[in-house]
Amino acid sequence: MLAAARRAPTPERRLLAHVPAARRLLWLAVGAGVVGAGCVVAAAWLLSLVVGAVVVEGRPPDNYAALMAGLGILSTAATTIPSHSGGLGRVSKGNR
């Protein structure tokens, strides 16, 4: 019973316990994912404002150009951040 309760340490747990840089990179990757998700949520909110302005209120295109610019910036940020953070947790063969 006692042996079943004690599990062997996994390589991930050993890496996080012995290499502080791996823990820091893991938190950096998590933070980048949270920022990317926030950008996606903000872009969806801006898109709803644009659709509401065009469909419901019938505004001309000049009145929502700033919303479209913000949507473009957020879309670019949301696609750029995760692609840069994808390799943060990987260890290259030269660093082992």
Nearest-angstrom CA–CA distance, 70 and 44: 11
Q: Which are the contacts of 77, defined by CB distance < 8 A and separation ≥ 6?
A: 35, 36, 39
Which pLDDT value is given to residue 86?
53
- 69 has pLDDT over 80: yes
Angle at 85 between CA 70 and CA 30, to 5 degrees: 90
Which pLDDT value is given to residue 96?
45
Nearest-angstrom CA–CA distance, 72 and 42: 11
* CA dihedral for 67, 72, 77, 78, sign (positive or negative): positive
Q: Which are the contacts of 63, defined by CB distance < 8 A and separation ≥ 6?
A: 53
pLDDT tens-digit map of 8-61: 778 777 777 888 888 888 888 888 888 888 888 888 888 888 888 888 888 777
